[in-house]
Amino acid sequence: MNSLTVHFGKEITDIRRNRFFILLLGFLTLIMVISVIVSALDFRTKMADYTLYLDALVKSGSTEVPPAPPLYPLQLLRGSIEYLELLGALFAIILGYRMIAKDKGSGTTPLVFTRPHSRFSMSGAKLLATAAIWGTVVVIVFVIMVLALIGVGTAILSPQDFSRVALSGFYAWLYLTFWSALAMGLVALTKRLSTGLIAALVIWLIVVLVIPQIGDTMDPDNQVPGGLFKSLQIGKADEVAVTAHFSGFETARDQIEISSITKHYERTTFAFLGIKDLYNQQPLGDVWLALLPNTITLAAGFLAAVAFALLSTVKRTLLRKES
Amino acid sequence: MGTLITVIRYEILTAMRDRLPRTLMIVFLGMIAASSIIGWLTNQTVTAVYNQVLADGLTTAANPFSGVSPLRYMSNTVIYMILIGALLASVAGVQASLRDRKMNTADLILSRPVSTVGFLAGKLLGQGTWLAGVLLVSAVTNWISISVITGSVLDPTGGAKILLFYGIGWVFLMGFVSLGMVSGLRSTTEATALLIPILIWAVLVFVVPQLGTAAHPVSLLNPVAAPPSQGGFFQLMNNFLGPLAVGEHFKTASSFLLDTGQTASIASLSFAVIVIFALVAAAVLLATPRNTVRSALHE
């Protein structure tokens, strides 16, 4: 058994024994499932209103039947995906921090390094363990969400829907591992553990909360409760025609948004799940091709963060005493 | 009284020196400075959108933004208080407790005849004074930027409203300072101490409002409070959990103070919720047993 496998096994055992982190993952799963249930109940309420309206129309002798509210079950996952991008990233930072912090000052690391080691066996094992943990969590969370969709949302999913969910799960894994690797690298590189954690938290605040929020509030439609265009009773086609006049502003807004990796994750996942109307019910291959630039950016970010963690989590940084 | 003032002064000094709250403070003040520009840019575009809609003959509705208050330019400030301000306050509170536990300062001070409540109240007031200073800088930044954008000095009524907004903002943030201090006193590791108030913040700002309004988490980052959703389940949840959605209540109270839509009757409930939240959090902090305050942190 080589040292990479031994280290990997130790990292997995450490996390399994960390009750607080297990609790955090339970919390994340819970709020994501609650979000699916809330969306399903919201849809049921709208459907009940529609049925009531239809009954009233029939009673009044009208023959005109308004279209039923469309139900695309995968759209019910929107809130859960948003929780993953906001809080999942935060928990990923905590995992990355723990990967380094738990061994500092324990005396284990100096002892381990008295034995012959390949340069990247420890950092590689920590990264592999992080990837394995997020892989397991993503599978569990997405399976529970699909069960909630079928059970509470009474959804019927096609085989292609399962492919869409699986692809979204893979992107979630990329996104979460990115944040853990980034935090791991930052914590390993800084002289004090708390400085690395601070840096990661500040980056999280700016990238996950502030930049998408700026893009969101700059959207003209978000300036009035319920939507500007809805309040002016303007349909979707006219809305698109009007906003076409403000392409400069929209481009600036878009540039702000795409400076955040969170938006690349969100855009791809929302497209695969059909949450974004433009890509709803479109063939998965076409959607994937259309979102290729976002995929490339997300993958590049993931690889850069992994390389950063791999290169910074070395003997010199791990054995450095806290100042 | 002398001890209380000494604790307050010491707390202000250490709060200013601590790197973590200071870093978040820089982000907070930077975003406050940027918020007016973002507000102005958005307002210009929205007005242009309305004019375009009118020119295309698509609506006969009145311009929802005609005659709006110049304070509308700082609407983004509201969300920065909820996002960055609350995190800054929580982290400042956590650090205030952890500092003492790491250096055994609290244990040393409380070995003397100093009351626990007095000591914790002094620390809370010290943090509050530091936070009030940060908010005062933010208020002046908003006042100057709005005056520059509108091309005329903001009148005293507008200035007073900005001060009132930051006044209720201070109360709102003090709730998070208290939560942070409690977490710092009771946690066994630094990471746990930092994470617990952030989790509570996430529940109050995202999960609770979602259960009452069916709004998606990211849409709750908008400074406009989410309207309650129709339907028995959501109304029931809104009745039970509504008072806990302090972030949404802060948006409503701010909307009244900044003249962006809410009436006094609706906002009065929100003011009450914010004050009760801060008082309950402070009461929980002040009720911390002496032994817990004296416990050291060894990581």
Are residues A79 and B216, on separate chains, in Cβ contact within 8 Å? yes
Cα four-point dihedral sign A149, A152, A153, A154: positive
Top-confidence range, A130-139, A276-285, B196-205, B258-267:
A130-139
The closest CB to that of A213, out of B23, B56, B221, belongs to: B221
Mean pLDDT of B167-193: 93
- Chain-centroid distance of CA B148 in Å reads 26
Q: What is the mean pLDDT of chain A?
A: 86
User: What's the pLDDT band for A226 if we cut at 50, 70, 90?
Assistant: low
> Which residue, chain included where needed, has tokens 């829907």?
A161
Chain A hits for B248, CB-CB cut-off 8 Å, are: none
pLDDT at A105: 67
Chain B hits for A266, CB-CB cut-off 8 Å, are: 218
pLDDT at B1: 67
pLDDT digits (tens, 9 = 90+) for A27-53: 888 888 888 888 888 777 777 778 888
3-state secondary structure chain A: CCHHHHHHHHHHHHHHCCHHHHHHHHHHHHHHHHHHHHHHHHHHHHHHHHHHHHHHHHHCCCCCCCCCCCCCHHHHHHHHHHHHHHHHHHHHHHHHHHHHHCCCCCCHHHHHCCCCCCCCHHHHHHHHHHHHHHHHHHHHHHHHHHHHHHHCCCCCCCHHHHHHHHHHHHHHHHHHHHHHHHHHHHHHHCCCHHHHHHHHHHHHHHHHHHHHHHHHHCCHHHHCCCCHHHHCCCCHHHHHHHHHHHHHHHHHHHHHHHCCHHHHHHHHHHHHCCCCHHHCCCCHHHHHHHCHHHHHHHHHHHHHHHHHHHHHCCHHHHHCCCC
The closest CB to that of B53, out of A27, A217, A242, belongs to: A242
| A41 vs B: CB within 8 A | yes
Distance from CA of B200 to the nearest CA of A (A): 11
Mean pLDDT of B172-190: 94
Cα B73 from Cα B268, distance rounded (Å): 23
Cα B86 from Cα A206, distance rounded (Å): 14
Distance from CA of A45 to the nearest CA of B (A): 6
The closest CB to that of A234, out of B53, B191, B216, belongs to: B53
Are residues A242 and B52, on separate chains, in Cβ contact within 8 Å? yes
User: What's the pLDDT band for A286 if we cut at 50, 70, 90?
Assistant: very high
pLDDT for A1 beyond 60: no
User: What's the pLDDT band for A241 if we cut at 50, 70, 90?
Assistant: confident
Are residues A42 and B59, on separate chains, in Cβ contact within 8 Å? no
Distance from CA of B113 to the nearest CA of A (A): 33
B31: left (phi over 0), alpha (psi -120 to 50) or beta: alpha
CB pairs under 8 A between A and B: 161
Of residues A115 and B31, more confidence is placed in: B31
pLDDT at A120: 80
Angle (CA) B254-B258-B263 rounded to 5° is 70
Instruction: Find out whether B94 and B180 touch, Cβ atoms under 8 Å.
Output: yes
Of residues A149 and B143, more confidence is placed in: B143
Instruction: Find out whether B138 and B170 touch, Cβ atoms under 8 Å.
Output: no
Top-confidence range, A196-200, B46-50, B136-140, B240-244:
B136-140
The pTM (predicted TM-score) of the whole model is: 0.86
Chain B hits for A242, CB-CB cut-off 8 Å, are: 49, 52-53, 56, 58
Are residues B195 and A24, on separate chains, in Cβ contact within 8 Å? yes
Instruction: Find out whether A305 and A181 touch, Cβ atoms under 8 Å.
Output: yes
pLDDT at B299: 63
Are residues B24 and A205, on separate chains, in Cβ contact within 8 Å? yes
Helices vs. strands in chain B: H and E counts, helices first: 13, 0
pLDDT digits (tens, 9 = 90+) for A109-157: 788 888 777 778 888 999 999 999 999 999 999 999 898 888 877 778 8
Are residues B194 and A197, on separate chains, in Cβ contact within 8 Å? yes
A 231-250: CB under 8 A from B: 231-234, 238, 241-243, 245-246, 249
pLDDT at B9: 92
Give residues with Cβ within 8 angstroms of A64, minimum separation 6.
A57
| A278 vs B: CB within 8 A | no
| A107 vs B: CB within 8 A | no
User: What's the pLDDT band for B233 if we cut at 50, 70, 90?
Assistant: low
Residue A319, token pair as written in the block: 């054995």
Instruction: Find out whether B272 and B171 touch, Cβ atoms under 8 Å.
Output: no
Are residues B214 and A41, on separate chains, in Cβ contact within 8 Å? yes
User: What's the pLDDT band for A225 if we cut at 50, 70, 90?
Assistant: low
pLDDT at B94: 94
DSSP, collapsed to helix, strand or coil, labels residue B149 as: helix
pLDDT > 90 in chain A, percent: 32
State which residue of chain A sits closest to B85, comparing Cα positions.
A205
Cα four-point dihedral sign A95, A96, A102, A103: positive
The closest CB to that of B210, out of A79, A105, A241, belongs to: A79
The closest CB to that of B45, out of A202, A216, A220, belongs to: A220
